[in-house]
Amino acid sequence: MPSNKSVSDAPIVQFTNCRILRSHQLQREDLWVREGKILNPEKLFFDEKGSADIQLDCKDSIIAPGFIDVQINGGFGVDFSLATDDFKSGIDLVSQKILSHGVTSFCPTLVTSPPPVYHQVLPQISIRNGGAHGAGILGAHLEGPFISKEKKGAHPEHCLRTFEAGAFQDLLATYGSLDCVRIVTLAPEMKRSSEVIQELTKRGICVSLGHSVANLSQAEEAVQHGATFITHLFNAMLPFHHRDPGIVGLLTSDKIPPGRRVFYGMISDGIHTNPAALRIAHRAHPKGLVLVTDAIAGMGLAPGRHTLGQQVVEIDGLNTYIAGTKTLSGSVATMDTCVRHFQEATGCSVETALEAASLHPAQLLGIEHRKGTLNYDSDADFLMLNDGLYVQATYIAGEEVWRQDVLGM
51 is in an annotated binding site: no
DSSP characters over 179-195:
TTEEEEEE-TTSTTHHH
Q: Determine contact, residues 237/246, Cβ cutoff 8 Å.
A: yes
Q: Phi and psi of 2, rounded to 5°?
A: -70, 145
Closest CA to 146 of 187, 206, 198: 187
274 is in an annotated binding site: no
Q: Which residues contact 139 (CB under 8 A, 6 or more apart)?
A: 107, 125, 127, 180, 181, 182, 183
**Segment holding 110, helix H or strand E:** strand 103-111
Q: Which sign, positive or negative, has the C-alpha torsion 277, 98, 312, 141?
A: negative
CA distance 286 to 378: 24
Of 79, 294, 336, 379, the active-site residue reads 294
Instruction: Map residue 348 onto helix, strand or coil.
Output: coil
Q: Phi and psi of 171, rounded to 5°?
A: -65, -45
CA distance 140 to 168: 18
211 is in an annotated binding site: yes
Instruction: Map residue 134 onto helix, strand or coil.
Output: strand
CA distance 237 to 177: 28
154 is in an annotated binding site: yes
Q: Which residues contact 158 (CB under 8 A, 6 or more apart)?
A: none
Helix axes 168-175, 193-202, angle to 10 degrees: 60
What does DSSP say about strands 263-266 and 289-291: parallel, antiparallel, or unpaired? parallel
Dihedral angle of Cα 318, 324, 329, 331, to the nearest 10 degrees: -10
Residue 294 is a catalytic residue: yes
241 is in an annotated binding site: no
272 is in an annotated binding site: yes
158 is in an annotated binding site: no
CA distance 340 to 352: 11
For the chain, how big is the Rg over CA atoms in Å?
A: 21
Residues comprising the binding site? Answer: 143, 154, 211, 232, 235-236, 243, 272, 328-330
List the binding residues for substrate. 154, 235-236, 243, 272, 328-330
Residues designated catalytic: 294
Binding-site positions for Zn(2+): 143, 211, 232
